[in-house]
Amino acid sequence: MARSASSSSSVITAAMASEASVKVIDGKKVAKDIRDEINAEISRMKDSIGVVPGLAVILVGERKDSATYVRNKKKACETVGIKSYEVCLPENSTEEEVLKYISDFNDDPMVHGILVQLPLPSHMDEQNILNAVCIEKDVDGFHPLNIGRLAMRGRETSFVPCTPKGCIELLHRYNVEIKGKRAVVIGRSNIVGTPAALLLQREDATVSIVHSRTRNPEEITRQADIIISAVGQPNMVRGSWIKPGAVIIDVGINPVEDATNPRGYRLVGDVCYEEACKVASAITPVPGGVGPMTIAMLLSNTLLSAKRIHNFK
Ligand code: NAP
């Protein structure tokens, strides 16, 4: 997938820097384009070999946010023609019950992707459960073998975790040069920061990682042509942290109080958007930037898995 989303064919470079020229990276639009492409591929696959990709989602417990994510994933599957299989287990389920469902889905030829919604209840061993998903169906890309492949030179990646994959896809579709550029990733979680840094390195960027123990993070971020921020701290990255012309991918989703909003809060990113717009050459908004890309990449990984399993080119 490498179609350009940029209206002009221009390459975004660090030289383009003024408030007037800041480009808003429209994750909603790119995600819609990707869903349309996936939909077309699924029709082609169904017509030629009669296979429909299947995604199994396991949800344990009653967390409202997790239930919403699962509902959204199910809806997204329907829009592109992926068949979804959902298992909702009560909070007090045992680890063995979850492992049994994983084992059944591992063996089920109709299922090409398996996703365990995180976080799991505290009495369960997350590592144990994630490791049980067979690597060929690990569309979340959280299996240590998948992360290992991502980290090793010369290895083909298997499944790339969805959020960082979405970040890189946005850079590609907006023709942002990565090779030879200085990139800074803020955050080093297993699901976003670390794989994002590995992906940037695979694309020949020179990568630094900033985390909670980093001294003077702004000195490091100011050197970056590309910043990917995945921290979870509202408006932490100020305009003064950004090199003029840098490209900013803001993964953070942070609720902040807002009495003017009917819900009493609004969502902001890790990056102070108003300040960043005055310095950066391109930036993702929150919401509407990385968020929609995460689900689009899950669908993309599920299609990829079905194609691999059925050797469909
Ligand atoms: P996480 O597991 O809590 O990791 C946060 C990372 O940020 C950690 O590595 C932590 O450093 C670092 N950090 C915390 N405070 C910092 C500070 N003051 N300065 C520098 N680094 C700091 O979070 P996550 O799961 O990666 O998620 C990060 C954000 O992305 C959250 O807002 C989450 O909601 C959002 N998110 C969005 C999507 C999406 O689809 N858009 C998907 C996933 C996550 P240490 O390692 O030193 O603790």
Query: What confidence tens digit (pLDDT) does each residue in 23-34 have?
Result: 999 999 999 999
User: Which residues form the catalytic set?
Assistant: 73, 117, 140
Separation of 210 CA from ligand 1 center, angstroms?
Answer: 11
Cα–Cα dist 201/209, whole Å: 11
Cα–Cα dist 281/215, whole Å: 26
Which long-range CB contacts under 8 A does 77-80 form with residues at least 24 apart? 77/299, 77/302, 79/35, 79/39, 80/35, 80/38, 80/39, 80/42, 80/299, 80/303
- Region 288-298: mean pLDDT is 97
Q: Name the band, by pLDDT with cuts 50, 70 and 90, for residue 55.
A: very high
- Region 265-274: mean pLDDT is 97
pLDDT of residue 102: 98
pLDDT of residue 257: 97
Separation of 50 CA from ligand 1 center, angstroms?
Answer: 41
Question: 20 or 31: whose pLDDT is higher?
Answer: 31
The tokens of 197 are what? 């840094």
Cα–Cα dist 178/169, whole Å: 12
Q: Among 4-18, 183-197, 230-244, name the one with the lowest average pLDDT.
A: 4-18
Say yes or no: CB of residue 251 within 6 Å of ligand 1. yes
Do 277 and 237 touch, CB atoms closer than 8 A?
no
Say yes or no: CB of residue 292 within 6 Å of ligand 1. no
- pLDDT tens-digit readout, 2-13: 455 554 445 555
pLDDT of residue 1: 47
Please, what are the domains in the chain? Answer: 50-136 (3.40.50.10860), 160-293 (3.40.50.720)
**Alpha-carbon distances, residue 122 vs 30, 61, 66, 94, 127 (angstroms):** 36, 10, 15, 11, 12
* Counts of helices then strands in the chain (DSSP H, E): 10, 11
Q: Name the band, by pLDDT with cuts 50, 70 and 90, for residue 91.
A: very high
Q: Name the band, by pLDDT with cuts 50, 70 and 90, for residue 232.
A: very high
Say yes or no: CB of residue 190 within 6 Å of ligand 1. no
Mean pLDDT of the chain: 94
Q: Name the band, by pLDDT with cuts 50, 70 and 90, for residue 136.
A: very high
Ligand 1 pocket mutation, candidates 68, 231, 238, 286, criterion most atoms within 8 A of CB: 231
Separation of 94 CA from ligand 1 center, angstroms?
Answer: 29
Nearest CA among 77, 101, 78 for reference residue 89: 101
pLDDT of residue 198: 98
Q: Name the band, by pLDDT with cuts 50, 70 and 90, for residue 238.
A: very high
Residue % of the chain over a pLDDT of 90:
93
DSSP E strand stretches across the chain = 23-24, 54-60, 83-89, 113-116, 182-186, 206-210, 226-229, 247-250, 254-257, 265-268, 282-283
Say yes or no: CB of residue 207 within 6 Å of ligand 1. no
Separation of 128 CA from ligand 1 center, angstroms?
Answer: 23
Do 165 and 200 touch, CB atoms closer than 8 A?
no
Neighbours of 176 (CB within 10 A): 23
Separation of 192 CA from ligand 1 center, angstroms?
Answer: 8
- Region 202-207: mean pLDDT is 98
Q: Name the band, by pLDDT with cuts 50, 70 and 90, for residue 21.
A: confident
Cα–Cα dist 228/247, whole Å: 9
Specify the amino acid at residue 215: R
Say yes or no: CB of residue 212 within 6 Å of ligand 1. yes
Ligand 1 pocket mutation, candidates 189, 208, 218, 256, criterion most atoms within 8 A of CB: 189
Neighbours of 154 (CB within 10 A): 4
Cα–Cα dist 250/254, whole Å: 11
Say yes or no: CB of residue 60 within 6 Å of ligand 1. no
Say yes or no: CB of residue 231 within 6 Å of ligand 1. yes
Q: Which atom of ligand 1 is nearest to the CA of 269?
A: 32
Neighbours of 297 (CB within 10 A): 28
- Region 118-138: mean pLDDT is 96
